[in-house]
Amino acid sequence: MPVSFEDRVVLACVDGASVSAAVGDYACWIANTIGAPLRLLHTIEHSADPAVADLSGAIGLGSREGLLEELTALEQVRGKLLIEHGKEILSAARARAVAAGVADPQTAQRHGGLAEALVELEDELRVVVLGIRGEAHEREHSGLGAQLETVVRSLHRPLLVVNTVFTAPRRVMLAYNGSDASRKALGMVASSLLFRGVPCHVVYVGDKRQELLDEAAQILEGAGIEAVTAQLGGRIEDALSAYQTRHDIDLTLMGAFSHSRIRGFLVGSFTAKMMAKTQRPLLLLR
């Protein structure tokens, strides 16, 4: 049975990464503002250890059987520890959400890859919030997490990518170029409760197209949103990032320009460059 729009959830993808608390905080802000249920998701991705085959092939038959039994037992213990670790993460995230005023946040734990889990849940989702890098990659201070690009390619729901501590947005920026994706993003901003009372900077990078900016400003102001327009030059991601810093923008919004599930279509694209470049959370509107 299809899930009604009102019952679709704000989904926060939490793990042990330091940004995970901020992921939960942003999800709480969205859920509280738009009046949607909140669900906290933790995934456990199991991978086969190639060392098992390598070690077992280098020793005698009897010893190999004993070793395989020990390795199997260790893997079972490891699996149980991962499940318990995930439950602790979810419990802490739920307590934080309750303290933030969310009524009865849901929790869920799934085995397998994050992208696969989100695709299976897609019909139940209103918006997804996740960190720019997960627990396994948080020591890396640049680039994108291993699962993030796959999620962006696979999911067709608004996606908030979090890379810093939570700040309730006071100013937002919409990257706008008049394309179908950016027009759809503009419409979503104009109709969303999230941005009521929050000034929106509509920024276009390229040759003069003032009519585009005027059109966008008119739509936002018609929805009761204060609009500030700006036209910039230079490389798009650099220009937007510099404007974001100069005007202390708390959240950047843009249409996700690739709907392809083919890896090469997104890698190196403007969407990927903006995710890597921005110093503030990025909301991809699909």
- Residue 7 DSSP label: G
Instruction: Specify whether the CB–CB gap between 10 and 31 falls below 8 A.
Output: yes
- Res 165: pLDDT: 94
Instruction: Specify whether the CB–CB gap between 204 and 177 falls below 8 A.
Output: yes
- Res 102: pLDDT: 97
| Burial letters 81-118, b for 16+ CB under 10 A, else e | ebeeebeebbeebbebbeebebeebebebbeebbbbbb
Give me the DSSP letters along 50-68: HHHHHHHTTS-HHHHHHHH
Instruction: Specify whether the CB–CB gap between 30 and 99 falls below 8 A.
Output: no
What are the sequence ranges of the domains in the chain? 5-47+82-162, 172-285
Q: What is the CATH code of the structural domain delimited by 172-285? A: 3.40.50.620
- Res 137: pLDDT: 45
Q: Which fold has domain 5-47+82-162?
A: Rossmann fold (3.40.50)
| Sheet hosting strand 172-175, strand order edge to edge | 106-111, 38-44, 9-13, 125-131, 159-162, 282-285, 251-255, 172-175, 200-205, 227-232
Secondary structure of residue 243 in the 3-state scheme: helix
Please give the average pLDDT of every successive group of 10 residues along the chain, which has 286 residues.
81 92 97 97 72 49 68 73 90 97 96 92 96 57 62 89 94 92 91 94 89 95 96 90 94 70 44 78 89
Query: Residue 26 CB: number of other CB atoms within 10 A?
Result: 28
- Res 23: pLDDT: 97
Sign for the CA dihedral angle at 97, 99, 104, 110 comes to positive
Angle between helices 180-191 and 210-222 (to 10 degrees): 30
Q: CB within 8 A of 5, min separation 6: which ones?
A: 126
Instruction: Tell me how far apart the alpha carbons of residues 147 and 153 are, in angstroms, rounded to a whole number.
Output: 10
Instruction: Specify whether the CB–CB gap between 194 and 34 falls below 8 A.
Output: yes
- Res 204: pLDDT: 94
**CA-to-CA dists, residue 232 to 76, 164, 179, 182, angstroms:** 56, 26, 17, 17
- Res 261: pLDDT: 38
Query: Residue 280 CB: number of other CB atoms within 10 A?
Result: 20
Domains 5-47+82-162 and 172-285 belong to one CATH topology: yes
Secondary structure of residue 261 in the 3-state scheme: coil
**CA-to-CA dists, residue 41 to 103, 106, 256, 263, angstroms:** 17, 9, 23, 25
